[in-house]
A and B are shown apart, each in its own frame.
Chain A
């Protein structure tokens, strides 16, 4: 019990990319223009060249990021250092230009690269986080669209006055990000001698994030091993197949033999809900059901919640449901959560949501919409620099280029990603004035939905 409030910390360690990564900017210098410029400058300073200050001035170049300080200066710019500050263009508009790097915008797929006009994409964000473990911080305001769809159609709340301060920075209250997976007893029972006889079937994880199983086409042995090791280091769980004695594993089981084989696992996730009753006899830990968001999943969720300890609601890798009129995972979650609340059984079951959770902000948003925890999929692949072959949307129909990676490197990249996301989760919770991740669940009062707010603000304006 005492473990709940242990200070949870992850340590980041710089883990540079293994494979080259194109940057967002491409500085270009017109060579004849540059030659003319140098000549002109040299002539202009001709007589004063003796003074060292003037020599320094002559040699000083506009870029403070070292793009032009290679051995050949502007003739062979070090493009990878460019931050897109545009000073070279401001100083020498006739000679320099800086354009958007097409190779940058081609990485990932349509979900990972919505627009590069902001200088960053979800893909570059995750790559940065996996590399450094840091929270991305920039100057100036937000550069993106007013709003978007799905997770981008909501904002999270903040509280002006009453809130906990961020731990670590100001050293005051601790913000807990732990959640439980499994079924909690609705009340406690004691025997005649006063001993507790109720037992909860739950596993506690320090962050509301687990790692989902990746189908073979988008995985390989190195990736699986990196994910497994990282889950252990973080202290969270991974969903996996063919595992026996994995304490940090939620075993994915398609039949009763797999259930038998998974006795030592932290939990079992059944692919077939029909096995629930039989599996219950074989396994005493948290037992859940994987529930793809197909037609009728909301009613199915209500039904299963009476017996399963947890439900794993899956959308596709772009966060859309598998219904014939597909919708976003956020709306699916809101629906399931509200139905469970109506039925009076929300507190008994854990809801895990997965499918296209690819940015730190998606986590508190998913929790506010009703999830207890989320499972990651393609975010892990991107952190490991996996290259998608085409769109990576439907788990069984996607593919990645196969290359080997050192497991130690892979583990550190995922750990870095989690370190960064943990800090970002704390930032957002701190802003909301919420000290416990458990209390985010279904807390829609702290969610700001763009559709509603826009209707309210602009509804009476002609043309809206």
Chain B
């Protein structure tokens, strides 16, 4: 039965970008428009930009959707443009990404193991990273450990000396943009035997990740937390993931002082497995507004070149990545774009009943089979290569040889009213 539906779904998402959908189709919303979704499916299928589908901006009417680049033609060939970024700017032991983005935390339980594997395979093949999210480190990920970020969040689910040693980057998640200031909540239905084992808890009981860390009430406490991780795994890079409050720049400098290599700011409009609608819409600022603030402050404190600033929370396209970098980030973290690549419709039903109807955010046995790791990885890699080509072309036409030269170049942007 899984086979039948799997075949149908695959065929459908391959056909739909060409067939198109009626004007009043229920697919899409203002952030992820129908066109952006179809364009992402097309790129995940072909590895190329679509010709007749709007794939640069959505319809949110602000932020990235109003920004554009001042293009000119330069003598630079797209193939010469470098997209790699270093993650460590403060001490020895470099981790270099081939692309200026990596995969954000999605925990086992909130997504299926198959999809996690797709992401890890794609990260390895593309020379970037993916994050475990806060749900433990399934042993199936071990072959990809050089491309895995282990997340430490407030529930400390699945965090052990062993998992800390099996990663290149440790991500301390203080807050998530979509539900800043609120903890995580995995509904009982999704806590299968496998998930419970990973999280060292009982099957079919709701799991809360409290907010905040109950052992961290100050930057000093955070520093001790970091020291512990560095003792267990001396070469590991430390990333601090925070949301975007009004004083986000103070949080950033505090994190830097406590030893962070990466400051990861997650804006309010990012994805999540489940969160109160009121939090997503209203709490903390959109990422577009936070990036320049943090970039400026870190620069004025003289540490901008000693730390990597990563932005996430509503990065949908290669153009969003470029805009975030021009506003002052070094790179981005993506999540929803990856789920869309494997067929997600941004319908928001992830937490309902059996979970995602096409097997992304689910622990349902039947539904979880819809996505096979290799197929998913292929789709993600295609998306990545389409994005990389778009980015190279864009940078070349801006006269830049490396994505690193784009950082903070607001002068290359225009705001379209």
> Which residues in A have some Cβ–Cβ distance to B below 8 Å?
24-26, 53, 56-57, 60, 62-65, 83-87, 89-93, 97-100, 102, 115, 117-120, 125, 135-147, 155-163, 165-166, 169-170, 359-361, 365, 424, 427-428, 430-433, 445-446, 448, 453-454, 456-458, 460-464
Contact = CB atoms under 8 A, between A and B. Distances in A.
B277 A120 contact: yes
A135 B278 contact: yes
Contacts of B354: 64
Nearest to A425: B278
B343 interface: yes
Closest 3 CB pairs of A and B: A139-B350, A146-B62, A431-B181
Interface string B180-214: 11110000000000000000000000001011110
Contacts of A156: 282-284
B224 interface: no
Given A158-B180, A161-B212, A162-B217, 9 more contacts: A89-B12, A120-B277, A140-B344, A141-B31, A142-B280, A146-B65, A157-B245, A161-B216, A457-B288
Nearest to A120: B277
B242 A160 contact: yes
A170 B233 CA distance: 32
A92 B19 CA distance: 12
Nearest to B335: A141
Contacts of B60: 144-146
B119 interface: no
B181 A433 contact: yes
B5 A137 contact: no
B243 interface: yes
Contact of B268 (A97, A119, A155, A432): A155
Given A85-B357, A118-B29, A137-B276, A163 B9 contact: no
B232 interface: no
Nearest to A57: B1
B182 A430 contact: yes
Given A91-B8, A158-B175, A118 B349 contact: no
A62 B243 CA distance: 38
Interface in B260-291: 268-286, 288-289, 291
B415 interface: yes
Contacts of B361: 139
Interface residues of B, number: 104
Contact of A361 (B4, B22, B31, B281): B281
B29 A143 contact: yes
Contact of A140 (B4, B272, B293, B367): B272
Contacts of B350: 138-140
B349 to A, nearest CB: 5
Contact of A92 (B8, B210, B271, B352): B8
A115 B27 contact: no
Listed residue (A87, A92, A125, A166) with the most chain B CB atoms within 10 angstroms of its CB? A87
Nearest to A154: B282
Interface string B302-320: 0000000000011000000
A141 B279 contact: no
A160 B414 contact: no
A141 B314 contact: yes
Listed residue (A26, A118, A141, A427) with the most chain B CB atoms within 10 angstroms of its CB? A141
A147 B344 CA distance: 25
Contacts of A446: 246
15 contacts: A56-B1, A89-B25, A91-B12, A137-B274, A137-B276, A143-B348, A145-B60, A156-B282, A160-B175, A160-B251, A161-B212, A165-B211, A431-B181, A431-B182, A457-B289
Contacts of A147: 61-62, 286
Contacts of B278: 135-136, 359-361, 424, 427-428
A142 to B, nearest CB: 4
B26 A100 contact: yes
